[in-house]
Amino acid sequence: MAKSVFDLEENISALLSYLSLIIFPIFGIVVLFMDKENKFARFHAAQSILLYVVFLILGVLSTVTCGITGIVALIIWIFMMWKAYSGEYYKLPVIGDLSESLMEKIQ
């Protein structure tokens, strides 16, 4: 498996990008900007950042459905960590395409 930023395996780097969503997508931002070589890690970093933004907006906008939004966010978050750790280049609908676009712009 290829190496990523901080000499981590690419799947660990991708997993940490999603795991950092708990507090703020700091690790994802670092991977996106510092890792110029590893497309897999950069894609998952970009997707984790956009996923964070979507959940943040949904959480702010939905006071009534906040509990449902939180449950859905948790399920997607765990699913994406599993996909990243498994080494799968899994694209979420809409967010995946935006992530690829973001990666291309930040070169």
Q: What is the pLDDT of residue 29?
A: 86
Q: What is the pLDDT of residue 63?
A: 63
Contact at 8 Å (CB) between 5 and 32?
Answer: no
Alpha helices in the chain (DSSP H): 10-19, 26-34, 39-61, 66-85, 95-105
Reference 45, options 11, 6, 79, 75; nearest CA is 11
Q: What is the pLDDT of residue 82?
A: 95
Mean pLDDT by 10 residues, the chain (107 residues): 78 84 77 88 91 82 68 88 93 92 86
Bridge partners (DSSP) listed for residue 103: none
Reference 44, options 58, 65, 63, 25; nearest CA is 25
- Model pTM score: 0.81
